[in-house]
Amino acid sequence: MPVDQPLHRRLGLTDDELGAVVELLGRDPTELELAMYAVMWSEHCSYKSSRLHLRRLPSEAPWVLVGPGEGAGVVDVGDGLAVAVRIESHNHPSAVEPYQGAATGVGGIIRDVFSMGARPIALMDPLRFGPLDDARTRYLFEGVVSGISGYGNAVGVPTVGGEVAFDDCYRDNPLVNVLCLGLLPHDRLVLARASGEGNLAVLLGSSTGRDGIGGASVLASAGFDEGAEEKRPSVQVGDPFEEKKLIEACLALLDAGLAVGVQDLGAAGLSCAASETAAKAGAGMDVDAARVPKREPGMTPVEVLTSESQERMLAIVRPRHLDEVLALCDRWEITASVVGRVTDTGRFRVYDGLFDAVGVAGANPEPPRGDTPTPTSSDQTPAADVPVESLGDGPVYERERRRPAAQDALVAADPAPLLAERFPPGADLSGELLAVLASPTVADKSWVWRQYDHQLFLNTVVGPGGDAAVLRLKGTPRALALSTDGNARFCRLDPRTGARLAVLEAARNVACAGARPLALVNCLNFGNPEHPEVMWQFADVVDGVAEACTALGIPVIGGNVSFYNESEGRDIDPTPIVGVLGLIEELGDVPPAAALVPGHRIVVLGATRPELAGSEWAAVVHGLDGGRPPDADLDGARRLHEFVRDLVTERTVAGVHDCAEGGLAVALAEMAIAGGTGCTVTPEPGLEAAAWCFAESASRIVASVDARPLPDVLRRAAEAGVPAVDLGVAGSDRLVVEGAFDVSVTDATRAWRDAIPAALGATAAR
Amino acid sequence: MSARVGVVVFPGTNCELDVAWAVEQLGGSAELLWHGERALDNADAVVVPGGFAHGDYLRTGAIARFSPVMESVARFAAAGGPVVGICNGFQVLTEAGLLPGALQKNAGLAFLCETVECRVETSASVLTGLATPGAVLRLPINHFEGNYVCDAATLARLRDEDRVVVRYVRNPNGSLDDIAGVCSEGRNVVGLMPHPERASDSMLGSEGGVVLLRSLLEAAAAGAAVAS
């Protein structure tokens, strides 16, 4: 942005938005006010382009305790326990500085979860990068993974899953989404409310520096052009040790009933946290910038209020509890400073030295005793004085939507005929199988998750690499299942269908663990919302998520929208990533693995159609990326999920695996690799072998079933309206699909396991 | 009477509740010991668990060794009390001079979280009293700095005195002589990089750590019986 632009534009406000500020204040804003509106009304904080659409998502169910709009969504899981979940993106910071961008993403989401009173017990990281043959992509990939590892491991929250996909559209815009799940007793649930006039706002944790100023507006609410590197100062630096202490201190405060509300300082820093807590309580807040501990001298109130320094929390505390709060923070070696006071004015006012001036609330160094008088502000001009709700009540835009001109041609370019020509019946597909297995999106990701502590807290029954992570709830018979999914190639071809498919896949993974879906969170990653084509994609994706969630009875309890994932005017493919949380009523034993058992019959549940569009085989291996994505039949999916849930709960199946990228060929190969055994199967009649192997038809699950219960399983499938086919038998050391391929399990394992380490020049796991 | 295990907690420690849980599953009782205090609360054994004590921004364990609780742990160890350091706890015990050697960055220069096979080398330690030498246990490792090093003279002594307690079957991190854990001269202080508490339950994929924790509880109970 040229320096000769007026200040409001440099801060990211449009002329119209400035006009709105002037109108609501009845005067020109001060510099601080302008800076606060700029961050709070930024796309990142205000959801101004998405809010209209997000209302269409279903968010209610009897077990939902807290829906969207709070730090995290919360659902009841029985026995007085509840689970808080949130997902967020840290795409832009990670593109500029991968280690710290990813690390602070982890830190931010953890704070959101413990601000609800929940102990964070699991993280998941859905990641998207460009092709691995690009040196910068390798730098971003390695940096992001070490940032997650470095922060997550040290802060003491296990990373139990996630997924990684690679596509050219993410070359300049990697996606770094992070989901955090927390566990809490119902009675510790707390909402970020600054209620009770005279209560104190206590800032906990790190001191405030000049880092991250304008992160929300400058970085996250605009695309990248050639100057991306210059945005590095807008990225913050994480301190997982400080965060670990903050988790313990905040949970101890809530356990002891010492805080009325807790809010994390994330995007827009103190101005957002303080005004939001007050606005939600229908109160007001006076903040004294002079009382905020600073990292360096000479920081102005504007810098203090908009800094995005990490590892800070705001606790709302009754004055009579202040001594105890300070003592507890002292034990955990975290700084605690009274920086504000709840008022009944309905105003958000910022002073610079107010509390000194009236000699109250001097908790630092001297805590106040007894009642603290209300400061009189008559003799001091506030640096900001605005209606408290106006900061969070930004503009709402109904942006123009337009179906992309090239969409029809894209959908018409069905890859099937070309592929049928290249691979006529009888063609040997062995090399094709190995190529798909070695495609980085399909290949083994243990290089990634070996770097994550995925076992802490002794809950991880199924960790990374499974269909869904399974976390037992110690002290109860129950367990949680969690999966994140999203396939942007399908969304590019048809956003609405692609979004449905993402929900179906995550729900299917959770069903494979024997769980009933309880809630969904989504992270909607898109290009520039000022491009009508992007808004068309966005609106359709919201509809797709809404339809699938309604059909499956899954409430959406939270989400995040990341726009402006564009570089040089090129938008990423629409990438909704959904996380589905499920509940297993009685875990009993470790759920069936995604593995074949020698001697077992292999059954596919669900229908296979010649749906090759957007498939790994067509789009990645052969570069044919057009066509119509697989059908997303919602009723059929629901029947399948319920049936699989029953089979898994009864342990009628010994192995079970979701069929997704790479189709049946990859599902079978992955189960063979995991089980250390081959198989011999016959494709279903009526389909060409190649299409049968690599089609990515939705709603299919491969199961390893003992021969004895097999007839019963097939009969019950028919009764449940779920297509089921006995494909063949597991055993031997070769992976054989009659008329398609015949490769050794060793070769398949090598292709799958070595691809990512080889691309990175690293050593594969043994 | 069940053995009482004191579990040390530094700011940044994160495996304390896991150790306490595993100990309690095996019939022991666990008490958390805050690093800033000196009392060991009549513990029969002390575990210094894994995590990132004081953030480990310096050399791992370099700050933790100065915590007041470590004075009491050293006295307890000198009196023959069973002390086990797991992962970061092992690093702390080497920094505190209770065990020889040091742990440096993994040879692959990456954090490693995976289950590995470890061979019990001696049953003469508070952690392996019930284990059979030669037995192979599946135990998770979870560290960036687990690459054991010591000078040649120390290594010779460790071997001669049968003080290598567990070795990796396939060395994951470059540790000298495949060492996964060692004990003190008195055999009552043991440090190891693998996490027995993470292998204490079939639901977690391995029960390899059970024999180790049971050994510790038995050593603790024996010590308690002698003391009383």
pLDDT value of position A93? 92
Residue numbers of B annotated as active site: 87, 195, 197
Asked if residue A266 has pLDDT above 90, the reply is no
Under an 8 A CB cutoff, do A153 and B111 touch? yes
Asked if residue A766 has pLDDT above 50, the reply is no
Helix, strand, or coil (residue A570): strand
Under an 8 A CB cutoff, do B52 and A156 touch? yes
pLDDT value of position A359? 36
Q: What is the pLDDT of residues A585-615, one digit of tens each?
A: 999 999 999 999 999 999 999 999 999 999 9
CA angle centred on A513, ends A507 and A516, rounded to 5°:
55
Rounded to an integer, the average pLDDT of A472-501 is: 97
Q: What is the pLDDT of residues B47-92, one digit of tens each?
A: 999 999 999 888 888 899 999 999 999 999 999 999 999 999 999 9
Tell me the residue range of the domain where B197 lies: 4-227
Rounded to an integer, the average pLDDT of A554-575 is: 96
Give the percent of chain A with pLDDT over 90: 86
Asked if residue A583 has pLDDT above 50, the reply is yes
For residue A461, which residues of chain B lie inside 8 Å, CB to CB? 203-204
Give φ, ψ of A429 to 5 degrees: -100, 15
ipTM above 0.85, yes or no: yes
Name which of B10, B86, B87, B113 to mutate to probe chain A: the one with the most chain A Cβ atoms within 10 A of its Cβ: B113
Q: Which of A248, A454, A458 sits opposite B113 (nearest CB)?
A: A454
Q: Looking at chain B from residue 118 to 157, which residues have their Cβ under 8 Å from any Cβ of chain A?
A: 140, 142, 144
pLDDT value of position A361? 43
Asked if residue B122 has pLDDT above 90, the reply is yes
Residue of A nearest to B204 (CA): A461
> Is B16's Cβ below 8 Å from some Cβ in A?
no
Rounded to an integer, the average pLDDT of A189-201 is: 90
More confidently predicted of A685 and A459: A459
pLDDT value of position A225? 64
- Domains of chain A are 1-40+190-394 (3.90.650.10), 53-187+458-589 (3.30.1330.10), 412-443+592-766 (3.90.650.10)
pLDDT value of position B61? 87
pLDDT value of position B41? 82
Q: Looking at chain B from residue 26 to 55, which residues have their Cβ under 8 Å from any Cβ of chain A?
A: 36, 51-52, 54-55
How high is the mean pLDDT of chain B?
95
Q: Which of A241, A332, A765 sits opposite B55 (nearest CB)?
A: A241
Under an 8 A CB cutoff, do A154 and B52 touch? yes
Asked if residue A453 has pLDDT above 90, the reply is yes
pLDDT value of position A214? 64
pLDDT value of position B228? 52
Q: How far is A241 from chain B (nearest CA, A)?
A: 5
> Is A457's Cβ below 8 Å from some Cβ in B?
yes
pLDDT value of position A217? 60
Where is average pLDDT lowest: A359-363, A380-384, A580-584, A745-749?
A359-363
Report how far apart the first and last C-alpha atoms of chain B are (Å, whole number): 12
> Is A715's Cβ below 8 Å from some Cβ in B?
no
Under an 8 A CB cutoff, do B197 and A458 touch? yes
How far apart are the C-alpha atoms of A204 and A311, rounded to whole Å? 8
Under an 8 A CB cutoff, do A240 and B111 touch? no
Residue numbers of A annotated as active site: 44, 90
Asked if residue A764 has pLDDT above 90, the reply is no
Asked if residue B46 has pLDDT above 50, the reply is yes
Number of domains in chain B: 1
CATH number, domain with residue B159? 3.40.50.880
Asked if residue A219 has pLDDT above 90, the reply is no
Q: How far is B114 from chain A (nearest CA, A)?
A: 6
pLDDT tier at A161, thresholds 50, 70, 90? very high
pLDDT value of position A215? 61
Asked if residue A262 has pLDDT above 90, the reply is yes
Under an 8 A CB cutoff, do A451 and B51 touch? no
pTM: 0.95
> Is B202's Cβ below 8 Å from some Cβ in A?
yes
Name which of B203, B204, B207, B213 to mutate to probe chain A: the one with the most chain A Cβ atoms within 10 A of its Cβ: B203
pLDDT tier at A85, thresholds 50, 70, 90? very high
More confidently predicted of A373 and A598: A598
Rounded to an integer, the average pLDDT of A459-465 is: 96
Asked if residue A374 has pLDDT above 60, the reply is no
More confidently predicted of A538 and A762: A538
pLDDT tier at A233, thresholds 50, 70, 90? low
pLDDT tier at A368, thresholds 50, 70, 90? very low
Q: How far is B161 from chain A (nearest CA, A)?
A: 32
> Is A333's Cβ below 8 Å from some Cβ in B?
yes
For residue A587, which residues of chain B lie inside 8 Å, CB to CB? 203
Token readout for A387 is 């209606």
How high is the mean pLDDT of chain A?
92
Q: What is the pLDDT of residues A389-409, one digit of tens each?
A: 999 989 999 999 999 999 999
Asked if residue A365 has pLDDT above 50, the reply is no
How far apart are the C-alpha atoms of A424 and A689, rounded to whole Å? 9
pLDDT tier at A358, thresholds 50, 70, 90? very low
Name which of B54, B66, B91, B111 to mutate to probe chain A: the one with the most chain A Cβ atoms within 10 A of its Cβ: B111
Sequential DSSP letters for A174-208: -EEEEEEEEEEEGGG-------STT-EEEEEESPB
